[in-house]
Each structure stands twice: as structure tokens, then as C-alpha cells.
Amino acid sequence: MMRGSQRDRVIFALIVLAFAALLFGAWRVMIEQASFLQQEGDKRQIRHVTLPAARGPILDRRGHVLAMSTPMISVAIDPKTLQGQTDYQTSLASALRMPLEVVQEKIEANASKRFYYLKRGLTPEAAKLIERLPLEGVHLVPEFKRFYPSGEVMSHVIGFTNIDDSGIEGIELSYNDWLKGSPGVRKVIRDNLGRVIETVDEIRPAHEGKALTLSIDRDLQFFAYRALKRAMIEHQAKAAGLVLLDVKTGEILAMVSQPGFNPNDRSQVTANQTRNRVVTDVFEPGSTIKPVIVAGALELGTIKPDAVIDTGNGKYMSNDKLVKDHHGYGQLDLAGILRKSSNVGMVKIVEGMSREEVWRFLHFSGIGQETGIVFPGEQTGRLRDPLEWYPVTKTTAAYGYGYNVTLLQLARSYAVLANDGVLLPSSLIKLEGLPTQGKRVFKSENARLVVRLMEEVVSMQGTGRKAAIPGYRVAGKTGTTRKANKGYDSDKYRALFVGIAPATAPRFVMAVTVEEPSRGKYYGGDVAAPIFKEVMEEALRLMAVPPDDVAR
């Protein structure tokens, strides 16, 4: 048998060996494997989370906020973890105020996923109810939601973003890269429920997107919206549009379309409502294009300022087409042709011009060209190459048929006349400093003469007398066109008015269209001209433009 002292030595040796093994194991864990184990622990607790960045605000020309980003919280879940956890599901449904069966249905439908947005766009206050619950597999994700203080008034210009805060319509889409922010990254420690309990490091801070200042004036936009909305109801029209330009800069001060929509609540919005008809819809300009044709003829010298044209009994055959006026006006000077909107007079004017010359003045006045704005869905209209024109095309071109324009293009062609014959690019962004140098289309004296001639249209004897503004001289032109649909509909019209004010020192150009008015009135002078008067009066007042004809 082993003696006691020998046994004690053996036991002591075993204890020493065991202690040495423990020390060695501890050394391995603390020193040799520390880096590896730290990494493994970090994988389970430390996460890199994305910090959302707010989009830049959109402002009007006076600094009023038109679009802003507000912080929101979305609730994301791990369906695989929550599957079968009835208590968790009940508590979650109660906190979100969602039916339990809806929550269970979404969890089951996404059972194979580890991440799914259960509800988005909660306010931070509402999200606190979720944060207090010890729910495993539920995460709160900070986000931003776009808010539009002006609602429907600005909807067609601003557009809107999707649920991920990316622009999908209007300015929000066309300037998305400018407006969107730069997300940040933060290293955090999460507990076993996935909640952030400590921030370890901010790897990259989030940066808000850049602000964008529009040329639009919020107050003018509201006045235009109100007038157009009222006209839509009064005339039971299908659609309407209005655009107001600054003559000297090309800036767009107001741009409204109807029907409208509320960008803050798009649950019932249709694609038809989101169209900005000022730039997306094309139509034949009809009589509103006549001043541009007259200016072209004056520029060529094919007619003289004091020319008198015999319009006869109001019927005239040109290139095998019978051209008609409403009445037989006999002898008319240029002012009379515009005042009476004589098609016969216009056709006789273009007989002295070649088809290339007619095309050239339309083209260089902006018809069929890009306007200079960056806007999704903008159309350039259609002005065919003159080599493709039939002989009758030149005839119909004289009174605005055979080619298509947008309302913005039509307004720009009048801005050429108002700006002493110079075409400027249009802009939806507020310009800093001097505007871009434009292109001369007409001599200054010819442009000014046509503006004076158009004043006759707004006189008491003219078709646009309802556009007259007390104290100011107004120049303009009415138009009433039939809508094309495999021919021309006999009972569907577009009422138009384009005008300039003040006529002596033009500051603004406005174009108005009302599509398919159905309450008996459909002429441009009856439907569109009063809208012009209402909005232009507000523009002249708001911009403190002095009267130029106090006798009126």
C-alpha cells in the first residue's frame, strides 16, 4: 500500500497539474484566443446600422417651405423568430393597433424571411409603445417621411416621394440626386432582443440633402390654384391649366393643373390626377398663335404695319380648303384681324410667306422645342419639318392647326413678343444674378408693334375684353379650338387665353386653358379670359407693379 506521505504528494501533484491546466486554459482564452472570441462576440452583439438622411427642403422664391422631411419610425420584424410566438404576436398587434389576424397573416406569409417591415411611418411618440415591450425579433427603424405644407396647391410642381423617400414625380424626381441625403453608418451594441443599448462608434455621419429654391411664388401659386379650381367647378370642365412667366428672366412664377391631388394622402390618387398638364399635355393652339405669325410676316416685310386686308364675306378658298370666319368682316387692318380673330385675314397673310418661313418663326418662338426646365414627362409638342408639309398645312398653320404645343411653350412664344423679340429659356429654379442671354427672334420694333395690336383684343370691341384689368393696359389673344379625336369633335372644345401685362412695359405673361367646359360657355374669351384677369390682378398687386393706364 502507498504510504500517507506518498499519497499526499501524488494528490498535491494532481492538484498542481489541474491548476496549471486551468491557468493554461485561461491564458489561451484571455491571450491567445482573445481576438477570435471578441470577434465572435461582436458578431452576436455589435452591429453596423445605417443612419437615414433627411432630404433637402424645397423652398419657394421667398424662402417658404414647400417640402420637408420629418423623422418617423418603422417597425420591422424577424418573422422566423415570431412564428408560433402567440404572446409576442398579441402584444405586438395591440401596440400597433392592428388586428391580430392581420399581424399573424403577415408573419406566416413571410415566415422564411429574417426581416420584414410590418408597419411604416409611425411617429416617434407612437413608436415608444413598441420600444417598451420586451419583444424578441422586433426592431424599430428610424426613417424620414416627406411632408408638403401646401398640399394640393403645389402638388403638380413638387411631385412626391415613395415610401423609401425617393422622388417619383415632379421636382422630387427630376432633382432627386440633389435633394437626397447621404446616409451615415454607426457601430452599436444590441441586446438579446435586438435593441440598441450602446453606441460604440459613429463611422460616418448622415448628411441632409441640399436645399432647392424654386422660381415659384407660393402666394401667386395659391391665387392661380384658387381661380382655376373655381373655374373647373363653374364650367364643369374636364381639366385646366395655368402658367405665369416673368418676362425678363424666363422664371415660372406659378404653374397649376387641374384636376389635382393631395400629396400628403395618396391613397385615392390616380395617374390622371398627377399629370402636370402644363408640360405633359399637347394641343393645337388655334387662334392664340396668330400674333406670332403676324410678327413673322412683319419681320419678313411681306406685310406692312399699316396693311389693310380684304376678308370679304368671311369665306375664302386656299389650297383647296374653305377657310371661314364667324362673320364677313370686309376690310381689316392688322389690329382688326387679331381683334376679330379672322382666319381669312391670317391665311391671306401667310400667302406671302413660304412654308419654311412660317415654320421658322414658329420654331424659333419655342414651338416644338424643349423649354429649358428639367421636368419628368415634359413633351416638346410636334412641329413637323417644313419639307413634310402639304400645301394645306401652311394654310391651317396660319390659324393654329396642324401642329401641337404645350401650354408652357405657348406662354413662351408670347414671352418672346413681350421681351422685345428675345426668347429666354424657362426655369423652375430661382435664378441668381442675370438670366441666360436669350436668342433674338424678332426685331424689337416688330415685337412691340404686335403687343400694341393685341391690346385691341382686350378692348371692349375685342374677343378678350373679359381679361381687361382696371388701371393697366393688357395685350392678349383668345382661342377656342375643337378637340381632335379621329377628326374634330363638334361638341368638345378647349378654351384658351394668353396675355401680357402691363402692355407698355411687359412684366408678366400668362397662359390659361380650360378643357371641355360643359355649362354652355366654351369660348376662350368667356371661360379662360376671366381666369387671366383674376390671377393677373393679384400678380400685379403682389409684385407692386405700377399702373400704366390710370384712365382705365
One digit per residue, the tens of pLDDT, for the chain of length 552 reads: 556 677 777 777 778 777 777 776 666 656 655 565 455 454 445 665 567 788 999 999 999 999 999 888 888 888 877 787 777 778 888 888 888 888 888 888 888 887 888 888 888 887 777 777 777 778 788 888 899 999 999 999 999 999 888 999 999 999 999 999 887 765 555 555 455 544 445 567 778 999 999 999 999 999 999 999 999 999 999 999 999 999 999 999 999 999 999 999 988 888 889 999 999 999 999 999 999 999 999 999 999 999 999 999 999 999 889 999 999 999 999 999 999 999 999 999 999 999 999 999 999 999 999 998 989 999 999 999 999 999 999 999 999 999 999 999 999 999 999 999 999 999 999 998 877 789 999 999 999 999 999 999 999 999 999 999 999 999 999 999 988 766 677 688 999 999 999 999 999 999 999 999 999 899 999 999 999 999 999 999 999 999 987 554
Q: Are residues 290 and 190 part of one domain?
A: no
The total domain count for the chain is 2
d(CA 65, CA 54): 15
Q: Are residues 290 and 349 part of one domain?
A: yes
Q: Are residues 225 and 205 part of one domain?
A: no
Q: Are residues 226 and 86 part of one domain?
A: no
Instruction: Answer whether residue 354 is part of any domain.
Output: yes
Residue matched to cell numbers 498542481 = 16
Residue 147 DSSP label:
E
Q: Are residues 293 and 187 part of one domain?
A: no
User: For the chain, how big is the Rg over CA atoms in Å?
Assistant: 35
Q: Are residues 247 and 158 part of one domain?
A: no
Range of the domain at 207: 49-94+119-125+137-213
d(CA 428, CA 252): 6
Instruction: Answer whether residue 154 is part of any domain.
Output: yes
Set of cell numbers at residue 22: 486551468
Instruction: Answer whether residue 27 is part of any domain.
Output: no
CATH of the domain at 334: 3.40.710.10
Residue 190: strand pairing partners: 196
Q: Apex CA 270: angle with CA 269 and CA 275, to 5°? A: 105
Instruction: Answer whether residue 7 is part of any domain.
Output: no
Active site residues: 287
- At which of 213, 232, 253 does a domain end? 213
Q: Are residues 326 and 293 part of one domain?
A: yes
Q: Are residues 241 and 330 part of one domain?
A: yes
- At which of 213, 236, 254 does a domain end? 213
- At which of 178, 213, 248 does a domain end? 213
Within 145-289, residue ranges assigned H as helices are 155-158, 170-174, 176-179, 218-235, 271-274, 277-280
- Give the C-alpha distances (Å, rounded to integers) separating 334 from 79, 303, 454: 77, 9, 10
